[in-house]
Amino acid sequence: MSVFLARRFLSFLITVSGASVIIFLLLEVLPGDPALTMLGVDAPDSAIEAIRLELGLDRPAFIRYVDWIAGLFRGEMGLSYVYKVPVTELIGQRLHVTLPLAIGAMVLATLVSLSLGIFAATNHNRIGDYGVMGFSQLGLAIPDFWFGILLIILFAVVLHWLPSGGFPGWDEGIWRGVRSLMLPVFTQALGLTAIMTRVTRSSVLEVAREDFVRTARAKGLSRRAALWRHVLRNALVPVLTIGGLLVATVVTGTLIIENVFALPGLGKLIFDAISNRDLMVVKNVVLLFAAIVVVVNFVVDILYALVDPRIRIQS
Amino acid sequence: MTLLSVRDLTVELQTSRGMAAAVRGVSFDLEKGGTLGIVGESGCGKSITALSLLGLLPDGARATGRVDLDGTDLLSLDEDDLCHVRGNRIAMIFQEPMTSLNPVHRIGRQIAEPLRLHRGLGGAGAREEVLRLLHRVGLPDPARRINAYPHQLSGGQRQRVMIAMALSCAPDILLADEPTTALDVTIQGQILDLINELVEDTGMGLILISHDLGVISESVDNVAVMYGGAIVEQGTTDRLFADLVHPYSQGLFAAVPRPGAVRGARLQTIAGTVPELADLPPACTFADRCAKASPVCWRETPAMTAFGPGHAAACHHHERRGDA
Ligand SMILES: Nc1ncnc2c1ncn2[C@@H]1O[C@H](COP(=O)(O)OP(=O)(O)OP(=O)(O)O)[C@@H](O)[C@H]1O
Ligand SMILES: [Mg+2]
């Protein structure tokens, strides 16, 4: 298991380093002067020169890259060009919104889709199965932002149960914060739930046909007991895989959701940073997104090993 | 004393072409401690027959007839009652030891499961019993292997684990569905010997399914030959092998390479292939592949007719066998 962990951790380091190089190349080295990008082609030469100096763009690319990475290890990400505050500070504030949103959506989607998927599988080819599949088809077909707007119309405009957008900050009380994140979480969870429900259902159905489930039944286990004790754990592996991949969708999805609901989160931050050409912010937040996705997949790998001893013991 | 009595067992399965009978009017008896072999080509309904004894047929299947275990008709039991029979009074082992064990649970836990279920045994008591069983089935180093996962064992060892599991609640009947087919030839003999030895020691009944006449002739007292879902010939092993009556049994036996046969000599096989369930002839299911078939074979299902003491066959032509 420790060999397994070490190997996984190494591949995690390699992936994040690779991501940082790609981000750096795309934003700072490939044709297109970052200073020009930030100020626009019509900016006076003096202004462009000034910002070059300010950002250190006059130095060779390699030095700038090393500087950036070294800064990361010291916990520094430079100053936001627009807000004039450290990027770390900006990210810190915004995480207060985005983390609960993303985790909430993921947890909700997992709970609902596991229940629905298992329900559908145990009612295979019956009305309950068709119902769940129809729902998930709908969930796949509906665009997130549109569903978000529908929720706003229903729960905010018509019923006045929940705020239509914005975020008061956690200082204003947990409950108010939670209330303003509810609709965004539902919105984001919709697509995830639709996909994971399908995966759960087909995975459970597939495992239920395995020989060892027949063995379990031949021992005298009821259908239900065989499902809980022998099917589910095996069926979890594909669900974990897809769940891990979907985290990337959740991360990029915050761009849309936070815009629809006017939430001051990371997605909104990077959206605005791109519009304002705030290079420092874009660079670091994109790397953070990449790191989150890689960390999650690292965790998923560990979960795999916990679920399936064949993975654990091979390595 | 008759332990298991199967009468007119018919099983219809859902196929892509509608319901089709995979088992047709099968009848046999198993004495207490008796051994019965069921032999026949792939697809003739051996496994479906065995699974119907446990009520583990595929979804949508319909079984009719009677399966009496000590006078209780298993076909009329509900799920809960069947769960008390499975693994407790009738245990089953399967062909594929590679896939028949759950890959994510330790084997000790898998063997203990029926003990907990039917005997209420848990903790140290269950562990002790599992160790005893592993020892009994000849798994080397049980104390260490009890914590192994299936993928850490060889095929033969896994089949021993399956046998330990089946044995755990001292069943009245062991159903062994091609228990050696997936194993190396050298291991096959060992597993078969183990099963025979256990049957002798514990006095449980055995229904051994195989398409290998050699395996059958060595291990059981009675044989039923199946074709197209029906038993075409049955009898005591000695008599049946001494005097095969049904054209299908004769063909099946001729298809077995015998020791001493010239290497490379063509294996004599039965002409044609086993048709799909829905395409089986309506009366005698072997009619379309049988050299002796006549119009009556397509019209009337042949009845099981005694051919000698402890030997019967279902063929319109068997009495003429001597003439040919
Ligand atoms: N789940 C199922 N649905 C539909 N038909 C089935 C199903 N299982 C088996 N059958 C059909 O029932 C017939 C009997 O199958 P069975 O598994 O009993 O054969 P078998 O004698 O055990 O063969 P083998 O030696 O290959 O194991 C076959 O024609 C098979 O195609
Ligand atoms: Mg079979």
pLDDT at B225 over 60: yes
Q: What's the fold here for domain A95-314?
A: MetI-like fold (1.10.3720)
The CA B248 to ligand 2 mean position distance, Å, reads 19
CB–CB of A204/A124 below 8 Å?
Answer: no
Q: Of A66-75, A141-150, B61-70, B269-278, where does mean pLDDT reach its minimum?
A: B269-278
Assess whether the C-beta atom of B210 lies below 6 angstroms from ligand 1.
no
Which atom of ligand 1 is nearest the CA belonging to B95?
Answer: 27
Q: What is the ipTM of this complex?
A: 0.89
A269-315 pLDDT, tens digit each: 999 988 888 888 998 999 999 999 888 888 888 888 888 888 876 54
pLDDT band at A200 (very low <50, low <70, confident <90, very high): very high
CA distance A68 to A63: 9
Cross-strand partners of B35? B206
pLDDT band at B256 (very low <50, low <70, confident <90, very high): low
User: By CB neighbour count within 10 A (0-12 exposed, 13-18 middle, 19+ buried), where does B262 fall?
Assistant: exposed
Amino acid A32: pLDDT: 65
The CA B49 to ligand 2 mean position distance, Å, reads 9
Tell me what the pLDDT averaged over chain A comes to.
89
pLDDT at B310 over 90: no
Which H or E run includes B227? strand B222-227
Q: Where are the alpha helices (DSSP H) in chain B?
A: 46-54, 79-85, 107-119, 123-136, 142-145, 155-167, 185-202, 213-219, 237-242, 247-254, 295-299
Q: Does A313 touch chain B (CB under 8 A)?
A: yes
Which of B169, B170, B191 lies closest to B180, judged by CA? B191
Is CATH 3.40.50.300 the right assignment for the domain spanning B2-89+171-258+267-323? Answer: yes
pTM, 2 dp: 0.86
Percentage, residues of chain A above pLDDT 70:
97
Amino acid B258: pLDDT: 54
B65 vs A56, residue with greater confidence: B65
CA distance A40 to B87: 78
Q: Which residues 104-133 of B have a C-beta within 8 angstroms of A?
A: 104-105, 113-114, 117-118
Residues of A in contact with B103 (CB under 8 A): 212, 234, 308-310
Q: What is the mean pLDDT of residues A156-185?
A: 88
Q: What is the mean pLDDT of residues A250-261?
A: 90
Cross-strand partners of B9? B26
Place of tokens 């660079």: A283
Q: Which of B89, B94, B95, B100 has the highest number of chain A CBs within 10 A, making it the mutation to test binding with A?
A: B100
Tell me what the pLDDT averaged over chain B comes to.
88
End-to-end CA, chain A: 7
Q: What is the mean pLDDT of residues A167-174?
A: 84
Handedness of CA A286, A289, A291, A293 (dihedral sign): negative
pLDDT at B262 over 60: no
Q: What is the mean pLDDT of residues B235-264?
A: 75
- Any idea which ligand is nearest the CA of B43? 1
Which of B202, B136, B203 lies closest to B164, judged by CA? B136
Closest protein CA for atom 1 of ligand 1: B58
Amino acid B247: pLDDT: 87
CA distance A247 to A300: 11
pLDDT at B263 over 50: no
Which atom of ligand 1 is nearest the CA belonging to B49?
Answer: 18
User: Could you tell which of B16, B24, B38, B48 is best to mutate to test the pocket of ligand 1, judged by most ligand atoms within 8 Å of the CB?
Assistant: B48
C-alpha B89, offset from chain centre: 16
* Residue B99 tokens, joined: 């896939």
Ion ligand 2, residue ranges at CB < 5 A? B 47
pLDDT band at A6 (very low <50, low <70, confident <90, very high): confident
Residues of B in contact with A221 (CB under 8 A): 83, 113, 117
User: Could you tell which of B10, B11, B13 is best to mutate to test the pocket of ligand 1, judged by most ligand atoms within 8 Å of the CB?
Assistant: B13
- State the CB neighbour count (10 A cutoff) for residue B241: 15
pLDDT at A80 over 90: no
Q: Does A209 touch chain B (CB under 8 A)?
A: no
pLDDT at A33 over 80: no
* Residue A251 tokens, joined: 């991360």
Amino acid B322: pLDDT: 45
pLDDT at B64 over 90: yes
B90-139 pLDDT, tens digit each: 999 999 888 999 999 999 999 999 999 999 988 899 999 999 999 999 99
pLDDT band at B172 (very low <50, low <70, confident <90, very high): very high
Q: What is the mean pLDDT of residues A244-251?
A: 90
* Most confident stretch, A98-107, A157-166, B312-321: A98-107
pLDDT at B150 over 90: yes
A221 with B162: Cβ contact below 8 A? no
Residues of A in contact with B101 (CB under 8 A): 212, 215
Which of A213, A228, A230 lies closest to B99, judged by CA? A213
The beta-carbon neighbor of B87 closest among A212, A218, A310 is A218
Assess whether the C-beta atom of B277 lies below 6 angstroms from ligand 1.
yes
Closest protein CA for atom 6 of ligand 1: B13
What residue segments make up the domains of chain B, in order of their start?
2-89+171-258+267-323, 97-170
